[in-house]
Structure 1
Amino acid sequence: MLLYNVTLIIEDAAAERWLEWMQEVHIPKVMATGKFVSNRLLKVLDSPNEGVTFCAQYIAENIGEYQEYQERFAPALQAELNEAFENQFVAFRTLMEYID
């Protein structure tokens, strides 16, 4: 099992709109790809950064599912994010493997 984590720091003024967009638009689209078995959205409470920090996490059963998501779906979904919140956020993505 793999955990795909997207950490995003968004400007305070856009945080509420972004959160609503994530819950109503983006996460449902990501899950509709069928490449992830579950997801969660977290808010970082002790972030040292300006703005509001969130983590969107998606669980993939194997590397093939993740790679197919990255090749077939991620570019368009990331473009939608960039268009909707241009110059209002920074994001970084990590892929982690469950040990247990």
Structure 2
Amino acid sequence: MILYNVTVNIDQSVEDEWIKFMRETHIPEVMATGLFKENKFFRLMHEAEDGGVNYSVQYFAEDMDKIKEYQEKHARQLQDKHQLKFRDRYVIFRSLLEQL
């Protein structure tokens, strides 16, 4: 199992709008690719030094082939849509973790 973790620091001024977008649009679109088995959405419990709020969106895939397919065929379009809506109001960090 591979975890594709997306950590986002979102500006508080758009936090509610961003959560709605993630729940109603972005996460469902990522899951609609059929490449992930499940997802989880968390708010980090510590405060960010810059006044933003940190979230972790986790997508679980069976193997690296599914991750590569997502990155090659879907990621850019979905990331661009997010960028257009929340330009300059977030910082994002992506990581891949392998379950042992």
1:44 counterpart residue number: 44
TM-score, L = length of structure 1: 0.96
Unaligned runs of 5+ in 1: none
Q: How far off its partner does 1:91 sit?
A: 0.1
Residues 1-100 of structure 1: matches in 2 within 5 Å?
Answer: 1-49=1-49, 50-99=51-100
What is the RMSD of the two structures over their aligned residues, measured on CA atoms?
0.7
Structure 1 segments, 4+ long, off by >2 Å, are 47-50
Q: For residues 55 and 2 of structure 2, what CA distance do their matches in structure 1 show?
A: 19
Structure 2 counterpart SS, 1:25? helix
Provide the TM-score with structure 2 as the length reference. Answer: 0.96
